[in-house]
A and B are shown apart, each in its own frame.
Chain A
Amino acid sequence: MITASRVRGRRGSITTSAPLWMWLIAGAALVPVFVPFAAMLVRVATGGSSAVATFWSTRTAELLGNTLALTTAVVASASGIGIGAAWLTTRTQLWGRRVWTVVVALPLVIPSYVVALALRSAFGDNGLIADATGIAVPRAGGFWGAWLALTIATYPFVYLVAAAALRRIGRAQEDAARGLGASPWRVFRTIVLPQLRPSVAAGALLVALYTLSDFGAVSLMRFDAFTRVIYAQYAGRLDRTPAAVLAVVLVAVALTVLWAEERSRSRASYATPHVPSPSLSVPLTGRQTAAATAALIVLALFALGIPIAALLSWLAREGRAIIDWGAIAGSLTGATLAGAVAFVAAIPTSVLVVRHVSRRTAWLERSIYVMFALPHITVGLAVVFFASRYLGGLYQSLALMVVVYASVFFAEALGAGKAALLQVDPSLEEASRGLGRGPLATLSRVTVPLIWKGLLAGAVLVFLTTMKELPITLLLRPTGFDTLAVDVWSAADDLLYSRAAAPALLLLAVSAVPMYVLTTRTDER
């Protein structure tokens, strides 16, 4: 029967080739990022003594050390917290388990620079914690401040994939191990953890890329990671080659991480047949329950309690909320347009990737994910170089910024569109062709009506991430164009925390609404 299934596997598509216009649209999605990058590479390669000097300076080595140390530390802590929280919320009968599953995931909507702003204002001699309790706490800043902020901002990535994997992995093996006399800890270490590895690796990859790419938290914490120094070099120097050199090194680091994770994934594949089985949850003693609950409370305090309390108390201290309508309009305009562009481009691209599987479409998909993984500051920088030199009127235009947003976050729209299209039986499209409708009519009358909801969910994701985006906006925004993210960052950078509180809270509120809709929607399925 192997032969029969192989024939069926080929039934995914009409074997005539994909229309050219689909390739043109999908290819256009790559242009706003890859063309400027190519130009930047050329600039660095031909940058002469300035480029060489920058590359070999001790500064580069120091930045590399800082960035790698921070990334390693954040990946370790975020993975530990994420796995631990996932195990507690899926395998124990903790009181309020259902509430905890939501609370623990919530920090996902808080951008790293908001966390950093809150931590800076909460810690230290004059911080909110000292004011409220009288206990002296150290300032949040430098390495450990950036580490704390980024751990809080990223552990939900690991938590979500680990919790999903734990729900998927049949518990029969764990029960068998327990039946053979293994302690809960030994079961976790020898049975659960090895099976979690592939999904935790995927989560850890997101954490590593997020940390490498993060600009807001490290700059507010005054920690010299690549991103902060690249921006400083760009903003403060006439010779922009050093910034370009550092950007190229950072991109190389990010791509190395991506490559290493892909290699480790292809070697570690675990077949875990889904055998749902009724199972006892791990019983905890009274003391263990208390300890586990306390751990989750501390986590929630740091990840949600402190940020929200800090923002609210600054707002109260200010006495009134300064609402920057221009920034709200800017955020909504940029994010909505980026979502719309990604929505439209995702239609033909999903069809290419799902219905015309080939080596070329595999490359297309991979390129789209690479764009997503590139540190945003380097994307912004490359586009600035390119646009200021070659694009004239488009430089610092809303159109250019929106197109770059849409390209960078295109992977989110494509992922959603692809998932939706995989649910559609290809024979529906064949039926339409057989009834005399050409490819375009089939797309508009059958395919799109069946996948638009999934595409919309993807567009909402693009909208959300664009709302929170900082470095691309800083580098590409038209003169006078403000967003909530820029408001938060510039106020916090000037230590004007009370002015940052209102836009930060607005940002959280606006992000929380589509997030809520998205999560309840997926729950329904």
Chain B
Amino acid sequence: MNADGTDLAIRCAGVAKRYGSLTALAAFDLEVPAGSILGLLGPSGSGKTTALRIVAGFEQPDAGTVDIAGRRMVDDRLMVPPEDRKVGMVFQEYALFPHLSVAANVAYGLDGRDRRGRVDEVLDLVGLGDAGHRMPHELSGGEQQRVALARALAPEPHVILLDEPFSNLDAPRRDRVRREVRAILVEARTTAVFVTHDQEEAMAMSDAVAVMRDGRVVQIAEPSELYRRPGDCWVARFLGEAEFVDGIAADGRVETPLGTFPLEADLAGLSGNVEVMIRPESVGLRPDPNGTARVAAREFYGHDQLVLVHLDGGRRLLSRLGPSPSLLPGDRVSVSIREVVTFPVTEGHRH
């Protein structure tokens, strides 16, 4: 039980891991409530895979503690081997045993009499009830993915860990498999942690996203909250396109070269120099021969379009619009900004 009374499936505290001179994890803290799906998001080299492998027991940390389902797994004196952790791992390349059939793969982690029943049950859950006799190499990438998931789910582990689970699938198939996997995880009522470097994937799949940078978690939040209120400029930019302008806060408002905006409620008392983030979807454009900006470039995606405009002062701004109006480079437009996010200026995190 954690302080506010929810069950924790995973609790990592102060976990550190170095490889020679390279610090993979520095004071890594993470709490994952039971039954939730958490995305561990970060650029490559941020330590997310190392963190996953430490939870699974494949790496021993240099310091820190790991608890799974309330049981201590790792501390200074203790290192529970992976086979005794009840953690299901789904590997990037699936790691299906090539010499065993699908059913034998799924049964691998099971003991006792009712193995057949459980194998059928999880294969049905992942929609491969009739594939038990097939060999792994006869399956498509998406099917292999689901077998790997079924194999990990079969022994009813405390938590499922997925390492870059969709990186081996091509783009059109990835969205579908992602939805399927999320549905399976939700139906199995399991706790899951998955590692990814893809922001959209993290936000679409997870109940909460933990953003990692330089071996530690810099922010953990529900996806829409994370996107709208990133903790700092780095997180803001990592999650999506964003423009930053300097501003001055006073009297519950922030004054910027692009206009004056109300401060968010929790920052109402702020005054002095701030940074202001503008997401492309907050920027509206309207064709206007007397407008203050000129269209410089446009990428049209069908369901939406991304338009780069140059303001008369020389500043550039990105706007995400619906499919209309049709704007072409050179057109004059007027700009309206619906919403901004204000950051108090912190040393070392200026854009």
Which A residues are closer than 8 A to B by beta carbons?
A: 1, 3-4, 6-7, 10-11, 14-16, 425, 427-428, 430-438, 445-446, 449-450
Within 8 A of A (CB), among B1-48: 19-20, 22, 24, 44-45
A430 touches B83 (CB 8 A): no
Q: How far is A154 from B85 in the complex, measured between Cα atoms in Å?
A: 55
Q: Name which residue of chain A comes closest to B99, CB basis.
A: A449
Given A433-B83, A437-B109, A446-B97, verify A6-B19 contact (CB < 8 Å).
Answer: yes
B109 touches A436 (CB 8 A): yes
Q: How far is A124 from B76 in the complex, measured between Cα atoms in Å?
A: 79
A7 touches B50 (CB 8 A): yes
A436 partner, pick from B58, B99, B155, beta carbons under 8 A: B155
A431 touches B89 (CB 8 A): yes
Given A7-B22, A435-B151, A438-B81, verify A15-B60 contact (CB < 8 Å).
Answer: yes
Enumerate 6 A-B pairs (CB-CB under 8 Å) in ascending A order.
A11-B53, A433-B57, A433-B82, A434-B83, A435-B83, A438-B81
Interface membership of B139, Cβ < 8 A = no
B45 touches A7 (CB 8 A): yes
Q: How far is A11 from B53 in the complex, measured between Cα atoms in Å?
A: 9
Which residues of A are found within 8 Å of B57, using beta-carbon distances?
14, 433-434
B22 touches A427 (CB 8 A): no
B83 partner, pick from A4, A427, A437, beta carbons under 8 A: A437
A425 touches B44 (CB 8 A): no
Q: How far is A425 from B57 in the complex, measured between Cα atoms in Å?
A: 17
Digitize B118-157: 1 where CB-to-A-CB distance is under 8 Å, 0 elsewhere.
0000000000000000000000000000000001100100
Centre residue among B22, B58, B88, B155 by max chain A CB count within 10 A: B58
B277 to chain A, nearest CB (A): 28
- What is the interface of chain B mostly: helix, strand, loop, or mixed? loop
Interface membership of B79, Cβ < 8 A = yes
Which residues of A are found within 8 Å of B86, using beta-carbon distances?
436
Given A4-B44, A435-B151, A449-B99, verify A14-B19 contact (CB < 8 Å).
Answer: no
A456 to chain B, nearest CB (A): 15
Given A3-B22, A4-B44, A430-B56, verify A16-B79 contact (CB < 8 Å).
Answer: yes
Which residues of A are found within 8 Å of B79, using beta-carbon distances?
16
Interface membership of B191, Cβ < 8 A = no
A430 touches B95 (CB 8 A): yes
Q: How far is A367 from B109 in the complex, measured between Cα atoms in Å?
A: 38
A434 touches B19 (CB 8 A): no
B81 touches A431 (CB 8 A): no
Interface membership of B313, Cβ < 8 A = no
Given A6-B19, A14-B82, verify A428-B50 contact (CB < 8 Å).
Answer: no
Interface membership of B87, Cβ < 8 A = yes
Q: A6-B20, A434-B109 are in contact. List 11 more A-B contacts (CB 8 A).
A: A7-B19, A7-B22, A7-B49, A16-B60, A425-B93, A427-B95, A431-B95, A432-B108, A434-B88, A435-B152, A438-B83
B109 partner, pick from A425, A427, A430, A435, beta carbons under 8 A: A435
Which residues of B are found within 8 Å of A14, using beta-carbon distances?
57-59, 82
Q: How far is A431 from B162 in the complex, measured between Cα atoms in Å?
A: 12
Q: How far is A377 from B283 in the complex, measured between Cα atoms in Å?
A: 86
Q: How far is A127 from B57 in the complex, measured between Cα atoms in Å?
A: 72
Q: How far is A445 from B111 in the complex, measured between Cα atoms in Å?
A: 14
B19 partner, pick from A10, A16, A437, beta carbons under 8 A: A10
Which residues of B are found within 8 Å of A15, using beta-carbon distances?
58-60
Which residues of B are found within 8 Å of A434, using beta-carbon distances?
56-58, 82-83, 85, 87-89, 109, 152
Which residues of A are found within 8 Å of B49, using beta-carbon distances?
7
A3 touches B45 (CB 8 A): yes
Given A436-B83, A436-B109, A438-B83, verify A4-B45 contact (CB < 8 Å).
Answer: yes
Which residues of B are found within 8 Å of A446, using beta-carbon distances?
97
Interface membership of B91, Cβ < 8 A = yes
Given A3-B45, A7-B45, verify A425-B95 contact (CB < 8 Å).
Answer: yes
Q: How far is A7 from B215 in the complex, measured between Cα atoms in Å?
A: 12
A15 to chain B, nearest CB (A): 5
Q: How far is A263 from B192 in the complex, measured between Cα atoms in Å?
A: 51
Given A15-B59, A430-B56, verify A435-B108 contact (CB < 8 Å).
Answer: yes
Q: Name which residue of chain B comes closest to A7, CB basis.
A: B24
A428 touches B44 (CB 8 A): no
B22 touches A6 (CB 8 A): yes
Q: How far is A438 from B45 in the complex, measured between Cα atoms in Å?
A: 30
Q: How far is A146 from B155 in the complex, measured between Cα atoms in Å?
A: 67
A449 to chain B, nearest CB (A): 5
A427 to chain B, nearest CB (A): 4
Q: Name which residue of chain A comes closest to B106, CB basis.
A: A435
A13 to chain B, nearest CB (A): 8
Which residues of B are found within 8 Å of A10, using beta-carbon distances?
19, 59
A430 touches B58 (CB 8 A): yes
> What are the 3 A-B residue pairs with the smallest beta carbon separation, nearest first?
A435-B109, A427-B95, A433-B82
Which residues of A are found within 8 Å of B97, using beta-carbon distances?
428, 431-432, 446
Which residues of A are found within 8 Å of B60, using beta-carbon distances?
15-16
A266 to chain B, nearest CB (A): 21
Which residues of A are found within 8 Å of B152, using beta-carbon distances?
434-435
Q: How far is A10 from B53 in the complex, measured between Cα atoms in Å?
A: 11
B82 partner, pick from A1, A3, A430, A449, beta carbons under 8 A: A430
Which residues of B are found within 8 Å of A431, using beta-carbon distances?
89, 91, 95, 97, 151
Which residues of A are found within 8 Å of B99, using beta-carbon distances?
449-450
Given A15-B58, A434-B83, verify A1-B91 contact (CB < 8 Å).
Answer: no
